């Protein structure tokens, strides 16, 4: 084992060779993640960036869930302008690139102890299935970007020769990504103060003042009464959740990992080895859990995937930074074997998480498919799907999609979907088609003729006037074949109903089925 480890580490000491290996592994893992992310579209909070953020200064500075999200908003605006929103791929690429920057940051820090272990750690983080919410959801470029900048800030501020401007710039980037930047500047500030680097502290103070000015003008506290008292337990649960996330959500193994991490820290201190990087990573994780606890403890989500990602990455960084250099070559193979074993479970978690996102995406896209087929303006401001996409104001979506592209399934795609998805398109057409059904003056019916049968079809952009001679239920169908789930209009006798099928020409004809053939068609 030692010969194998020695040869591997000696081979990968060369920067070019190790860089090629790392990039090759990241390309393979990103390709796999991209495959898992097929058939996805925008999800939950992401719709705010897609539909409601413009190039106005207020849209850049307005917080999202308390976070200054200037850089993520900029990315979404640029991608929407360049490629539109009809394809999710550019946004997924952006998300995977930011995730890759986190992995490279892990590698760059770990390389100080062992290049081989650093590569294994970076590859492990690249497929960290327990952090699937960040990895598979491009909206999380904010959280991942703040973490990535934080890792590079740790790398820079723990160097022998520190660049104050570079440290300050990385902290600023982190702050412009998400609230996690507060944790980054706090951690870097403590390290810089300990090292008495007064020039760096001056630059950091300028960045801190800039953020304070923003917060005083735009910031909104996310904390609620009682969170402070819940924070200590929240920190413990977050630490355990992050450690367990490294071990495929196994709580017992997570506790063992934390124990080993503490032993390594004590051993390094006893042997008078440098522990600044490890302490920085642990401090950043702890500050993150404290800040999240103060603002989010009431939500009781310490082990949510998006938080596990941040904590797990920082714990991995601390772990590989504490492996003694004199034994690092001996543990390359065990670390690799354990890493591969854990990655298998992580892949299953990634598949499961991606499957959940895909199910939501299909439902939302089928509803939007119906919206996309409506001609004329939509006056309603109801959400397209109140449970899966409450952020989508259908009126705003129609305005944006006319310029940036339509997201919903096409008519041909809708025809091939399962019944439970086709009904979503019909529901959207029934709810949002302006003037689909309305009552008009009896005198406008003129002469009428009895309707023979119980089904009538109305072509796209067609109009029909009907009068019921007794109470009749009329079901409206475009794509679905299931009458029981179709939308129903209760027609009352003595009224004339005008039906206007305001849909594009590639939409199937509107099929109306009457519960009783007691209908007269107005001429």
Residue 495 sits in a domain of what CATH number?
2.60.120
- Tell me how far apart the terminal alpha carbons of the chain are, to the nearest angstrom: 90
DSSP 8-state code for residue 29: H
Look at residue 9 and tell me whether its pLDDT is greater than 70. Answer: no
Domain count within the chain: 3
Listed range (43-47, 180-184, 375-379) with the worst mean pLDDT: 375-379
**pLDDT above 70 for 13:** no
Same domain, 327 and 445: no
Residues 456-512 pLDDT 10s = 899 999 998 888 888 999 999 999 988 778 899 999 888 889 999 999 999 999 999
Q: What are the two backbone dihedrals, phi and then psi, of residue 62, each rounded to the nearest 5 degrees? A: -65, 130
Assess whether pLDDT exceeds 70 at residue 152. Answer: yes
**Which letter does DSSP use for residue 460 in this model?**
T
Q: Are 391 and 303 in a shared domain?
A: no
- Sheet hosting strand 496-500, strand order edge to edge: 437-440, 496-500, 463-468, 519-522, 448-450
Mean pLDDT along residues 426-448: 84
Helix, strand, coil percentages (3-state) for the chain, rounded to 5, are: 65, 10, 25
Averaged over 66-82, what is the pLDDT? 96
- How far is 90 from 257, CA to CA, in rounded Å? 37
Q: Are 85 and 154 in the same domain?
A: yes
Whole-number Å distance between alpha carbons of 142 and 133? 12
User: In whole angstroms, what is the distance from residue 459 CA to residue 441 CA?
Assistant: 24
pLDDT digits (tens, 9 = 90+) for 296-342: 888 888 899 999 999 999 999 999 999 877 665 667 677 777 777 77
Residues 423 and 448 in one domain: no
Question: Residue 249's pLDDT is what?
Answer: 86
Residues 6+ apart with CB under 8 A from 230: 293, 297, 298
Instruction: Report the share of the chain in percent with pLDDT over 90.
Output: 69
Say which residues have a Cβ less than 8 Å from residue 195's Cβ, sequence separation at least 6.
Answer: 157, 162
Query: In terms of domains, do 368 and 451 share one?
Result: no
Higher per-residue confidence, 200 vs 452? 200
Q: Are residues 421 and 493 located together in one domain of the fold? A: no
For the stretch 409-424, pLDDT in tens is: 999 999 999 999 999 9
Please state whether 408 falls in left (phi above 0), alpha (psi between -120 and 50) or beta.
Answer: beta
pLDDT at 11: 45
Boundary residue ending a domain (305, 333, 358): 358
Residue 330 is predicted with a pLDDT of 66
Residue-by-residue DSSP string for 293-325: HHHHGGG--TT-HHHHHHHHHHHHHHHHHHS-H
pLDDT (0 to 100) of residue 335: 74
Distance CA 511, CA 521 (A): 15
* Angle subtended at Cα 264 by Cα 99 and Cα 156, rounded to the nearest 5 degrees: 45
What pLDDT does 370 receive?
Answer: 96
The 3-state DSSP class for residue 112 equals coil
CB 125 within 8 A of CB 313: yes
Q: Which of the given ranges, 2-6, 270-274, 305-309, has the highest pLDDT on average?
A: 305-309
- For residue range 83-106, what is the model confidence (pLDDT) as tens digits? 999 999 999 999 999 999 999 999
Give which of 300, 301, 299, 294 is closest to 228, Cα–Cα. Answer: 294
Residues 505-517: pLDDT tens digits?
999 999 999 988 8
pLDDT tops 80 at residue 229:
yes
Dump strand ranges (E) for 101-221. Answer: none
Q: How far is CA 428 from CA 359, 424, 436, 472, 482, in A?
A: 18, 6, 12, 23, 16
Q: Tokens for 434?
A: 């302006």
- 421 and 282 inside one domain: no
Q: What is the pLDDT of residue 5?
A: 45
116 and 189 belong to one structural domain? yes
- Which residue, 342, 358, 374, sits at the end of a domain? 358
Tell which phi-psi region holds residue 249, choosing left (phi > 0), alpha (psi between -120 and 50) or beta.
Answer: left
- Check whether residue 212 and residue 174 sit in a common domain: yes
pLDDT value, residue 2: 45
* CB-CB contact of 220 with 62 (8 Å): no
Q: What is the pLDDT of residue 7?
A: 46
Listed residues 338, 358, 378: the one ending a domain: 358
Considering the domain architecture, whether residues 166 and 315 belong to the same structural domain is answered as yes
At 359-389, the pLDDT tens digits run 999 999 999 999 999 998 888 888 899 999 9
Residues 155 and 124 in one domain: yes
Distance CA 304, CA 284 (A): 18
Q: Under a CB-based contact definition with an 8 Å cutoff, are residues 378 and 434 in contact?
A: yes
**485: domain range?**
435-522
Joined tokens for residue 120? 């294994």
3-state secondary structure of 391: strand
pLDDT band at 1 (very low <50, low <70, confident <90, very high): very low
Residue 4 clears pLDDT 50, i.e. is over it: no
* Separation of alpha carbons 474 and 471, rounded Å: 10
DSSP three-state, residue 520: strand
Q: What is the pTM of this model?
A: 0.92
Are residues 244 and 384 both part of a single domain? no
- By DSSP bridging, strand 496-500 and strand 448-450 are unpaired
The pLDDT value given to residue 518: 79
CA atoms of 282 and 286, how far apart (whole Å): 6
Percent of the chain with pLDDT over 70: 93
Mean pLDDT over the full length of the chain: 90
Residue 322 DSSP SS3? helix
Indicate the pLDDT class of residue 255, thresholds 50, 70 and 90: very high
């Amino acid at each position: 084992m030692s010969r194998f480890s020695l040869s591997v580490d000696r081979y990968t000491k060369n920067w070019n060779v190790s860089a090629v290996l790392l990039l090759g592994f990241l390309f393979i893992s990103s390709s796999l993640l991209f495959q898992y992310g097929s058939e996805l579209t925008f999800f939950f909070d992401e719709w705010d960036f897609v539909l409601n953020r413009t190039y106005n200064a207020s849209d850049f500075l307005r917080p999202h869930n308390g976070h200054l999200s200037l850089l993520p908003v900029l990315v979404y605006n640029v991608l929407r302008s360049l490629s539109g929103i009809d394809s999710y791929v550019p946004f997924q690429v952006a998300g995977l690139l930011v995730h890759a920057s986190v992995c490279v940051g892990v590698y760059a820090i770990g390389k100080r102890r062992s290049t081989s272990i650093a590569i294994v750690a970076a590859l492990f983080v690249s497929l960290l299935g327990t952090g699937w919410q960040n990895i598979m959801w491009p909206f999380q470029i904010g959280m991942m970007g703040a973490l990535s900048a934080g890792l590079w800030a740790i790398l820079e501020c723990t160097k022998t020769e520190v660049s104050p401007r570079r440290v300050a710039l990385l902290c600023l980037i982190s702050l412009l990504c998400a609230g996690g930047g507060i944790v980054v500047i706090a951690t870097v500030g403590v390290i810089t103060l300990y090292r008495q680097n007064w020039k760096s502290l001056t630059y950091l103070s300028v960045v801190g003042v800039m953020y304070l000015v923003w917060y005083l003008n735009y910031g909104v506290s996310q904390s609620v009464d009682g969170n402070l008292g819940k924070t200590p337990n929240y920190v413990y649960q977050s630490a355990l959740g992050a450690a367990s996330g490294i071990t495929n959500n196994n709580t017992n193994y997570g506790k063992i990992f934390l124990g080993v991490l503490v032993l390594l820290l004590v051993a390094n201190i006893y042997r008078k080895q440098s522990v600044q990087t490890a302490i920085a990573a642990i401090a950043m994780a702890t500050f993150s859990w404290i800040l999240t606890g103060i603002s989010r403890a009431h939500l009781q989500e310490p082990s949510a995937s998006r938080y596990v990602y941040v904590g797990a990455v920082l714990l991995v960084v601390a772990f590989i930074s504490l492996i003694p250099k004199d034994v690092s070559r001996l543990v390359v193979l065990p670390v690799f074997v354990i890493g591969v074993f854990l990655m298998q479970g992580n892949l299953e978690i990634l598949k499961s998480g991606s499957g959940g996102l895909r199910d939501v995406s299909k439902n939302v896209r089928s509803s939007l498919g119906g919206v996309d087929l409506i001609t004329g303006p939509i006056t309603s401001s109801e959400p397209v799907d109140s449970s899966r996409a409450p952020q989508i104001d259908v009126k705003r979506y129609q305005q944006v999609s006319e310029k940036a592209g339509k997201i919903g399934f096409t008519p041909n795609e809708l025809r091939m979907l399962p019944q439970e998805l086709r009904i979503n398109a019909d529901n959207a057409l029934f709810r949002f088609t302006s003037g689909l059904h309305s009552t008009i003056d009896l005198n406008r019916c003129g002469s009428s003729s009895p309707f023979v049968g119980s089904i009538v079809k109305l072509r796209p952009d067609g109009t029909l006037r009907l009068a019921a001679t007794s109470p009749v239920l009329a079901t409206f169908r475009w794509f679905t074949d299931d009458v029981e789930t179709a939308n129903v209009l209760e027609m009352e006798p003595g009224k004339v109903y005008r039906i206007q099928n305001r849909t594009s020409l590639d939409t199937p004809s509107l099929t109306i089925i009457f519960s009783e053939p007691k209908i007269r068609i107005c001429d």
